Amino acid sequence: MVSREVIVKSPTGLHARPATLLVKKASSFKSELYIEFKEKRANIKSLIGVLSLGVPKGANVKITACGDDESLAVEEVVRLIKSLEE
């Protein structure tokens, strides 16, 4: 299992468009991927799950993966969240 923390800098947090991009990216990996925010956890491959967390701009989230490609999965998801700053 691999985990990393990242700060969400997207102006809208992880809502609508950013959440959709996140789910698409996560779905390309075999590993189970989870996002944690304020002691709540959701499967990143579930749009409803990600949206239900209500992650705002400036939030610190934890990304966790477990599976064959866990290291790459966490790295790519964190990279995507960081790229959503625009």
Q: State the Rg of the chain over Cα.
A: 11
Please report which residue ranges of 1-86 form alpha helices under DSSP H. Answer: 16-27, 47-53, 70-83
Whether the Cβ atoms of residue 13 and residue 56 lie closer than 8 Å to each other: yes
Catalytic residue among 4, 9, 15, 57: 15
Active site residue 54: no
First-residue to last-residue Cα distance in the chain: 30
Supply the residues annotated as catalytic: 15
